[in-house]
Amino acid sequence: MDLKKLRYFIAVAEELHFNRAASKLNMTQPPLTQQIQSLEEELGVKLLERTKRQVRLTAAGAVFLDESRRMVSQLEQAVMRTKRASQGKIGHLSIAFVDSAVGGMLVNVIKGFRERFPEVELSLSSQFKRIITSVS
């Protein structure tokens, strides 16, 4: 099963009309119908009730629509977060400092960093405290 089939199914399920869904997807109706039939065969369930006059979701189709929307949304979020991580906009940054740096400069740098990168988790540790801890 691939993402395209999920997107196709979502479009048909939302439109409840193959031609409108195909138009929304910038494709023709026959390949869309084939993809939906292929999806139903792959799942082994009927997702849509079709007549010449209307298309309706089956009970299984309604469940699959909810799950498909959730999966597509999660994948889109994963892609977005991955891109943000590669740009350094999310993640984790550890900063070690000496106590003398606690003055205004470090505070201002950290404040500016948090404003610019609110999704990056910061861990601050004093090197002086680490030295004392490791000697004890």
Looking at residue 92, the DSSP 8-state letter turns out to be E
What share of the chain in percent tops pLDDT 90? 59
What is the tens place of the pLDDT at every residue in 59-99?
A: 999 999 999 999 999 999 999 999 999 988 888 888 887 76
Q: Is 21 exposed, middle or buried (0-12, 13-18, 19+ CB in 10 A)?
A: buried
Work out the angle at residue 46's Cα, subtended by the Cα atoms of residues 26 and 29, and round it to the nearest 5 degrees: 20
Could you tell me which residues come within 8 angstroms of residue 56 by beta carbon, excluding any fewer than 6 positions away?
16, 48, 49
What is the tens place of the pLDDT at every residue in 17-42?
A: 999 999 999 999 999 999 999 999 99
Residue 4 CB neighbours (<10 A): 11
